[in-house]
Amino acid sequence: MRLKRETYLEQIRPYYESDIIKVITGVRRAGKSILLDTIRDELIENGVCENHIIYLNLEDLDYDYIVDASDLNREIKSRIDENGKYYIFLDEIQHVKNFEKALASFRATLDVSLFVTGSNSTLLSGELSTLLTGRTVKFEVLPFSFYEMKQYYEINKMDWSDDLFSNYLKWGGFPLRFDYRDDTSIHRYLSNLYEGIVNRDIVGKSKSTDKKNFMDISLYILANAGKELSIDNIVDTFRKNSKEISKRTVYNYIDRMKKAYLIHGVGRYNIVGKTALSNREKQYAVDMGFRTINTNTINYEDTFFLENIVYNELVTRGFTVFAGKTHKGEIDFVAIRNGKKCFIQVAYLLAGEETIKREFGAYSRITDASPKYVMSLDKIDMSHDGIVHMNIIDFLLRRTDLMLT
């Protein structure tokens, strides 16, 4: 049974009737098309006539004649034969050359509500994007969160236990991976998905990209997600294996991974100066399954795995996330939403006084009064000195929530 992804629907519903263009992006197979189907169903439930809904999947061979903006314009206008508002859904619109012209024209000349999807972060970054400046609102869809995994199990009448967190930590939340039960089948599905994204959205778009080098570098980046990347270390590692690669190439590959939504770059936030810093990004994987298939050695007690899941959950909930920088150290996350923020430290277990002192002590020099959290897998509440301790699973399953100021 299909999961109704309420977290995203709540964000998109206020725009259903608006002429602003709803742009839904994200990594391939995260569930964008299913989300469009759900929105379409909700519109029909709300009284919209089905013949006033136009849906085109532009990866479908049936529409291979729609090559550019003029083709798309003719197709849509040929389907509008009545007065009243039309709701237009264009799935994977990046396949249409100069599609921005068509969208701008629809918006200017027709009574329509437009929903479009794409699998590349540069979807609206070309020269023609100026045609749509101020006329779009963007939503990024990620694979299932742990909360959505629980919902999926419940609606499909599958046995649920919080202990399935270890399964999520290993295999992540791509929706179709839940069709498989054994590790071998899940690994094969995710490996094929990853290679398909690389072939289609990275190597396929640049003949100069060496696939073997790219796969090696992406393995390194995913294996070290959450750590501060050293481009020099990557280059040196290749040289030790008798392979030459330039810093420029490494930067280019990282950029391509971001554009395909395989990773997210997380910038630094100067907590003292309360400003975002432009350099020194961390990278987090879009899904834990991609970390697993690209990592030779897996240690799920590694805090960086938990950081990655917390980061993805924050993005799913609509936060803008930074890594916090203090005078002599850092805070894992500064989470900001609607102009309000909180600070978050992530740990595996607060197993001893030294660990407790380190994690809670990270806030000792921060005078900012915004709420401060330490998250771990401990089930005993260890909050003290105004710093809130929160169980990671309780946070992911939305049994507890963050306060912001």
**Each residue's pLDDT tens digit, 256-268:** 999 999 999 998 8
Instruction: Give the whole-angstrom CA distance, residue 158 versus residue 378.
Output: 26
Please report, in tens digits, the pLDDT of each residue of the chain (405 residues total): 889 999 999 999 999 999 999 999 999 999 999 999 999 999 999 999 999 999 999 999 999 999 999 999 999 999 999 999 999 999 999 999 999 999 999 999 999 999 999 998 888 777 667 889 899 999 999 999 999 999 999 999 999 999 999 999 999 999 999 999 999 999 999 999 999 999 999 988 777 788 988 998 998 899 888 988 888 888 988 888 878 889 999 999 999 999 999 999 998 888 765 665 555 689 999 999 999 998 766 777 789 999 999 999 999 999 999 998 877 788 999 999 999 999 999 999 998 999 999 999 999 989 999 999 999 999 999 999 999 999 999 999 999 999 999
DSSP 62: G
Residue 90 burial by Cβ neighbours in a 10 Å radius (0-12, 13-18, 19+): buried
Beta strands 372-376; 330-337: pairing state: unpaired
Tell me which of 3.90.1150.10, 3.40.50.20, 3.50.50.60, 3.40.50.300 is the CATH number of domain 6-140.
3.40.50.300
Phi-psi region of 242 (alpha: psi -120 to 50; beta: other; left: phi over 0): left
Instruction: Give the whole-angstrom CA distance, residue 54 versus residue 75.
Output: 10
Residue 170 burial by Cβ neighbours in a 10 Å radius (0-12, 13-18, 19+): middle
Tokens of 325: 């920088």
Instruction: Give the whole-angstrom CA distance, residue 156 versus residue 178.
Output: 11
Using alpha carbons only, how large is the chain's radius of gyration in Å? 22
* Residue of 272, 316, 6 whose CA lies nearest to 140: 316
Instruction: Give the whole-angstrom CA distance, residue 327 versus residue 98.
Output: 47
For 405, other C-beta atoms within 10 Å of its C-beta total 9
Whether residue 389 contacts residue 363, with contact meaning beta carbons closer than 8 Å, is answered with: no
Contact residues for 249 (Cβ-Cβ < 8 A; gap 6+): 213
Instruction: Give the whole-angstrom CA distance, residue 393 versus residue 344.
Output: 15
Q: What are the boundaries of each domain within the chain?
A: 6-140, 144-405
| Dihedral angle sign, alpha carbons of residues 349, 352, 357, 358 | negative
pTM comes to 0.94
Residue 405 has, within 13 A of its CA and on its CB side, a CA count of 5
* Residue of 91, 38, 40 whose CA lies nearest to 63: 91
Phi, psi torsion values for 128, nearest 5 degrees: -75, -10
pLDDT tens digits, one per residue of 58-116: 999 999 999 999 999 999 999 999 999 999 999 999 999 999 999 999 999 999 999 99
